[in-house]
Amino acid sequence: MVLWDNEGLFVNFRFQTTKMNKSNFSKIIAGTMSWGVWGRNFNFSEMQHMIEMTVDLGISSFDHADIYGGYTTESAFGTAFSNTAIARTDVQFISKCGIQLMSPTRQNELKHYNCSKDYIISSAEASLKHLQTDFLDVLLIHRPSPLMHPYEVMEAIEQLKKQGKINHFGVSNFTTSQIELISSEVAVEVNQIEFSAVQCQALFDGRLDQMITQDIIPMAWAPLGSVFSTEITPQKEQILKQLGLLTPKYNATPDQLLFAWILGHPSGIRPVIGTTNLERIKAASKAVSIHLTTQDWFKILEASQGHEVA
């Protein structure tokens, strides 16, 4: 944004923000997409138990989106969390907005995106109500819209921050150029992208480079990359073979090694795990103590790519 100062000169303006402390977020983030009707459909007591056990394992950050469960999961989570003894300041709530789904609660004719000022504000306020909290630690734009204007996004984020309704702002699934577009008006502090040993293009297309240089926290959804799905591909076979060779060396399970591989990147990627299995969550929490050697890290990359590095 460009404004005139009192002497008629151009001055640059960008809404200033308190820089995010990366240590405020757990290294593994609990994704809640499958906690509601889109997955396990936990009842009240089950969801409360999941929250308590997850926090006990050292995973204090919870990833939400307004659309999860057809706009119902945040409300279920908020009710369950309000009945725990966990202090709100001991956990971090992340939510996303911008996707408009066809739903009985929405007058939508088709799935589309909305990144307008009014919609961002109303979505954030709805998430606060549903999660029964006064603030979100981070609000993300879920998907970039072709109609998105950075100034309008900045106005929404500035208002929400001034009102104490969000602490930080970020995006999800944005390319480097889309980050630059939004960053022209408002500081981007998080970019949540698909990233795994199966889907690791961000290593080479500049996204992770940009997040290092601009001090943006990367969060990785689908961090296991469907390696353990029933659909077998040559790439997955090679990855599983390599993980099998490394398992005894690190006394770790294959999924722990995949998380350790992601955690080993210098950008400080936070994997967002989607499992609702407490044993798998427990296993994931232990991955933070696994440190792959440089050569072992490259062995997994080579298995993913199907060839040695150039």
Q: What domains lie within the chain, and their CATH numbers?
A: 2-12+22-233+253-290 (3.20.20.100)
Q: Can you give the pLDDT at residue 7?
A: 41
Average pLDDT over residues 214-239: 94
CA distances from 106 to 73, 99, 122, 128, 218 (A): 16, 12, 13, 18, 31
Tens-place pLDDT, residues 69-120 = 999 999 999 999 999 999 999 999 999 999 999 988 888 889 999 999 999 9
pLDDT score of 23 more than 80: no
| Rounded Cα–Cα distance for residues 246 and 248 (Å) | 6
pLDDT of 8 higher than 60: no
The answer on pLDDT for 16 being more than 70 is no
What length does the chain have?
A: 310
**In the prediction, which pLDDT does 18 show?**
62
Which stretch of 19-23, 53-57, 141-145, 191-195 has the lowest confidence by average pLDDT? 19-23
Does the pLDDT of residue 12 top 50, yes or no?
no
Tell which residue, 196, 194, 219, has the closest CA to residue 270. 219
Per residue in 146-203, pLDDT tens?
999 999 999 999 999 999 999 999 999 999 999 999 999 999 999 999 999 999 999 9
Q: Which amino acid is at 24?
A: N
Known catalytic residues?
A: 68
Burial letters for 5-20: b for 16+ Cβ neighbours within 10 Å, e otherwise? eeeeeeeeeebebeeb
Q: Which two tokens stand for residue 51?
A: 């929250």
User: What digits encode the pLDDT tens for the residues 281-296?
Assistant: 999 999 999 999 999 9
State how far the Cα of 272 lies from the Cα of 286, in Å rounded to an integer. Answer: 14
- Please, which pLDDT band fits residue 122 given cuts at 50, 70 and 90? very high
